[in-house]
A and B are shown apart, each in its own frame.
Chain A
Amino acid sequence: MRRALGIGAWVLAVAAGLGLFLLLPHLVSDFHSRDLARAGVFFIAIVGLNLLTGYTGQISLGHGALMAVGGYTTAALVVHEHWRDVWTIPLAGIAAGIVGFIIGLPALRLSGLYLALATFGFAISMPSLLKKFSGLTGGTQGLRFFESAPFQVTGLTGKVTIFGHAMTQAHFLYYLTWSIGIVGFALAWLIVRGRLGRVFRSVRDSEIAAVSSGVNLAATKTLAFALSGVYAGVAGSLLAIQDTIVNPLSFTFLLSILVLVGAVVGGLGSLPGLVLGAFFVQYLPSISTHVSSRPGVPDFVYGAAIILVMILLPTGAGGLLRRLARPLATWLYTRP
């Protein structure tokens, strides 16, 4: 009886979440739909980073650079090869996945802060590298594919028709980003609750114990980096599609920091809180600017908010949700 109630509660929660997802852009203006779409980009990147840092225990300060790989793959294919932008998303994911695999290689020797430095170096170097190879990347100017709008599904020219159903561009970007986000989230959920998730967690909790239980450490770590890279690449690609421009300034070290902040605020090693983490990094800057627009004050408020959230929720929003849901779960899953 209670088991059925439990399943019912889950179905209800998922249905409510999906309903909110479908209705949300109709409740707010186009401008806010774009903000929501951008929060979706953070969400995808954060889900990817959480697989790596939360479940496998490998710190990455370089996810902004992996997003750059995805974003530039999309931009280069659209500008140089005249692809339709949305069809480049899978390729952007694969490209960033390969790069993620490669930056995961040092992780076989390095751990903790030493690994953080390796990924950090990657993130710091990305803007200079993008400027150096200007033939492909457009250098400091970056690549604009606003001009190639006729080739786009999402030209800035008003409506987008999809399956015979016309919608505004902001709505289209919102649905595109969050649909991919939800699918990515579901896949991540399947991964972490399955065998691979157990392997990931065993590596996080004790490498030596994992190896003695027959876990292939090298394969696991690089696979986690590659998977995480795919998420980051897709997120970067969607960011490029939303902005219709990429340049070295879109993918600075700050982006890597924001993704990490979002993952920790959302709650490492748990999935449900990550939506909140994404909204946190997306909306906090504009909220801080509302407090006062004197130079410096927004940054001050932003930093203070991050510190306050971490003091109040040391295990992130995910930890809070777990604590709140515990009485319900205990009630549902214990025999009377």
Chain B
Amino acid sequence: MILAFDWTQLAQQTVIGLSNGGLWALLALALVLIYRSTGVVNFAQGEMAMFSTFVAWSLIHHGLSYWEAFFLTLVISFAGGVALERVAIRPVERAPVLTVVIVTLGLFFLVDGAARWFWSSETRTLPNAFSTRPINVAGVAFSIQDLGNIAVSLGVVALLFVLFQFTKLGLALRAAAVNPEESRLLGIRVSWMLALGWGLAAAMGAVSGMLTAPALASFDQNLMQPVLLYAFAGAVLGGIASPLGAVVGTLLLGVFVNLIGTYVNWIGTDLRLPVALAVILGVLLVRPAGLFGRASVRRV
């Protein structure tokens, strides 16, 4: 096996891994965004993204082009995320953390049920966002779809970075997450900042879902469940409160999972996730706060 080692294959598999990892990164960023403002992992994030993807499917079904539907879905998802926060999360804002976690689990069932209710359980397809034609880079053939996914993921990450670092709204969002009490004194509407965070997270999840679906032969309501697992694992690997960590963590995970699935036959598809999780556990035992996380210091 080692003798027939093929560098072209390694490069291709790495790009496929980066492409998957990029899509996971968007959902991981959504998790991090909500974690930083609310202190919980939103277990419903994947299902919300799945719901958005179904919305996009319906829009395309009604005659819109892929990219028209894409941007319209972003707006709808943003509004939906804000609405969910106002209805379900706001009433438990001051409740114990685990109560909020259980509410997000409730949202998981609710959104999943709604998607099965509104759309039948038959499998469906989404047109490709990018051409699947291969493109030749330095003698290695890559699919345009993979490169496009990576580009969109990085683009969204860059936009988010600009929003948070260079706009007044971003400053308010960060302040509300870091120190709600003082932000309130300074006139920031903290509660609404949380809702905006949920809206942004929902929109990012929608991007992830709408790019994940076309790559599959067909999809149904289980579309985003594996993506959520990988996004959660990648975000924790990077340090759950660190956006940079989430991106790096999921990209590393994407490449690792794809390479290990390709080169270690014994693992196959069944054991990919368990092996990846075991490796992450090993990393966490060395760095308990993740790769980019800071150990939390608490006063006694």
Contacts and interface: CB of A to CB of B under 8 A. Distances in A.
Interface of A: 53, 59, 106, 109-111, 113-114, 116-118, 120-121, 124-125, 128-129, 131-132, 206, 208-209, 257, 260-261, 264-265, 268, 294-307, 310-311, 314-316
A292 to B, nearest CB: 9
Interface of B: 35, 41, 88, 91-92, 94-96, 98-99, 101-103, 105-118, 120-121, 229, 232-233, 236, 240, 270-271, 273-274, 277-278, 280-281, 284-285, 288-290, 298, 300
B88 A125 contact: no
B270 A131 contact: yes
B109 A300 contact: yes
A314 B105 contact: no
What 3 A-B pairs have minimum CB-CB distances, sorted nearest first? A299-B113, A303-B110, A296-B116
B274 A114 contact: no
Secondary structure of the B contact surface, majority rule: helix
A296 B116 CA distance: 4
B46 to A, nearest CB: 13
Contact of B281 (A106, A111, A294, A296): A106
B38 to A, nearest CB: 12
Contact of A209 (B95, B96, B236, B300): B300
Contacts of A131: 270
Contacts of B278: 121, 125
Contact of B289 (A59, A114, A208): A114
**Taking each of B94, B101, B108, B289, which has the highest tally of chain A beta carbons within 10 Å of its own beta carbon?**
B101
B105 A261 contact: yes
Contacts of A209: 300
Secondary structure of the A contact surface, majority rule: helix
Contacts of B274: 121, 124-125, 128-129
A316 to B, nearest CB: 8
A261 B281 contact: no
Contacts of A121: 233, 274, 277-278, 280-281
14 contacts: A110-B285, A111-B288, A117-B281, A118-B281, A120-B277, A132-B271, A295-B120, A296-B115, A300-B117, A303-B106, A306-B106, A306-B109, A307-B88, A315-B99
A289 B274 CA distance: 33
A297 B300 contact: no
Contact of B103 (A109, A120, A310, A315): A310
Nearest to A129: B274
B180 to A, nearest CB: 18
B236 A114 contact: yes
Contacts of A53: 98
Contacts, number: 143
Contact of A310 (B106, B116, B236): B106
A59 B98 contact: yes
Given A106-B284, A121-B280, 17 more contacts: A109-B288, A114-B284, A114-B290, A116-B41, A117-B233, A117-B236, A117-B280, A121-B274, A124-B277, A128-B271, A261-B105, A297-B113, A299-B116, A303-B111, A306-B102, A306-B103, A310-B106
Given A299-B110, A306-B109, A311-B92, A114 B288 contact: yes
A124 B121 contact: no
A121 B236 CA distance: 12
Nearest to A305: B106
A300 B114 contact: yes
Contacts of B285: 106, 109-110
**Taking each of A261, A301, A306, A310, which has the highest tally of chain B beta carbons within 10 Å of its own beta carbon?**
A310
A90 to B, nearest CB: 29
A106 B287 CA distance: 12
Contacts of A124: 229, 273-274, 277
Contacts of A129: 274
Contacts of B102: 260-261, 264-265, 306, 310
Contacts of A132: 270-271
Contact of B96 (A118, A297, A307, A315): A315
Contact of A113 (B41, B96, B109, B115): B41
B117 to A, nearest CB: 3
A296 B113 contact: yes
Contacts of A298: 113
Nearest to A294: B117
A128 B101 CA distance: 26
Contacts of B289: 114
A109 B277 CA distance: 16
Contacts of B113: 296-303
